[in-house]
Amino acid sequence: MRIDRDELIGDIYSAATDSAGWSRVFAKFRQAFAGHTAVYTRLHAAPETHQLLATDLDPGFVRLYNGGYNALNVWATSPLNQAGSIVISEQIIPRGELERTEFYGDWLRPQRLKHALTCPLVRQEHRSLNLGLVRDDRRGEYGTADSRLLASLLPHLRRAIEIATRTEALALTRSASLDTLAADGSCLLVVGRGGEIHFASPEAEALLCEARVLTSRGRRLAGVDRAENGKLAGAIEAATREAPVPTGGLLALDGRGRTGRHSLAVTPISGERVGLFCEGRLCLVLVARPRDVTIPAAAALAAVFDLTPAEARLARALCNGETLADYAAASGVSATTVKTHLRALFAKIGVNRQVDLVRAVLTNPVLGRASL
């Protein structure tokens, strides 16, 4: 179906600053290319883990796709998708071979889909944002005219996505600024699935530049020590996963050199994605450097929060990066007793998680003036 190309380009740029406009763009793409539109993110090292971010496909099939059929998609996982050009599905796999795949039999055929056209929209060091068009056999294969039309729209799509990504980053910055104030000047980062850094406070940027404990590899947060990097990646994964419920975590990193132990609190950010091009869930990573933090004395903790001596000692140990098991072993008390003290701490400090307990202690303006 013929469309007004100039009008479509105008809609693309309108959607750059109003994410609701992408549904109108997708509707016009459906007219122009006689099929469905999908935007998906793809890790170069693990293309089978790619995820649909936005599409006009049936929501039930989208859930099935992101839940496992993505790994079976012979189109999206093909090395040809890293070439940077527009690719027609028949260039990747002949129709007869496609029809013998599980991906076709279980996911494509129930939707009467058979032909695809795909290309990268944004390429980064570790991942790319891709566009996929897919339609049923009654419309026939995508041809040269479809590729030419898409090629003429790609520069506008890419510029619009760059604008949209910057707009979403500003939204993250505004949101993160509130937490930065609450953190009383500590290093703060907003991190996505896979460690992508969406926001870093000036203090955090300086810490990354030092590269003694934490660093940025292609704008992905990483620990400089391999073993510690594994711990960090695990905490971020737990805080950004979709299911089961994302959880926060505490960890301590020593890194390289004699910089002292750095304490990290990794906390899920509740709510939906900030925008179309911000992948999956996000988490806050709050970093306390040794020179930034003075752990309050047990007596000060007891006075401010009305704690028993045992509860105050546990609170101080948690602020120092100790785990419950380590504290129990060092103190010679049972794990049951430690958990009882932890429940009492939660009730008295008014929190439900260890990460929030540590934050409440370290950002308390009164305790901040207390000496060891």
> Class for domain 298-369, per CATH?
mainly alpha
Q: In this structure, are residues 207 and 233 in contact, taking their beta carbons and an 8 Å threshold?
A: no
Q: Structure pTM? A: 0.54
Q: Judge whether residue 14 has pLDDT over 60.
A: yes
Residue pLDDT, tens place only, 119-170: 888 887 777 888 999 999 889 999 999 999 999 999 999 888 888 877 766 6
User: For residues 295 and 85, what is the distance between their CA atoms, to the nearest angstrom?
Assistant: 55
DSSP for 70-86, please give it. Answer: GGG-TTTTSGGGGSSS-
31-35, 120-124, 241-245, 268-272: least confidently modelled range: 268-272
Q: Where are the alpha helices (DSSP H) in the chain?
A: 5-17, 22-33, 59-66, 89-92, 95-98, 102-103, 144-182, 202-210, 226-240, 298-305, 309-319, 324-331, 335-349, 354-362
Superfamily of domain 5-166: GAF domain (3.30.450.40)
pLDDT tens, residue by residue, 159-218:
888 888 777 666 665 565 555 444 455 678 888 888 888 888 888 888 899 888 999 987
pLDDT in tens, 74-100: 998 888 776 668 999 999 999 999 999
Same fold, 5-166 and 183-288: yes
Please count the CA atoms within 13 angstroms of the CA of 169 that sit on its side-chain side: 13
Distance, in Å, from the CA atom of 293 to the CA atom of 363, rounded to the nearest integer, reads 9
Is 14 in a helix, a strand, or coil?
helix
> What's the CA dihedral at 29, 149, 120, 55 to 10 degrees?
10
For 183-288, the fitting CATH number among 3.40.50.2000, 3.40.50.1820, 3.40.50.10860, 3.30.450.20 is 3.30.450.20
Model confidence band, residue 369 (pLDDT cutoffs 50, 70, 90) = very low
User: Any idea where the domains of the chain sit in the sequence?
Assistant: 5-166, 183-288, 298-369
Question: For the segment 266-303, what is each residue's pLDDT rounded down to a tens digit?
Answer: 888 765 555 666 655 788 888 877 655 567 888 888 88
Q: Is the pLDDT of residue 322 over 80?
A: yes
Number of neighbours of residue 51 by Cβ within 10 angstroms: 17
Q: What is the pLDDT of residue 68?
A: 92
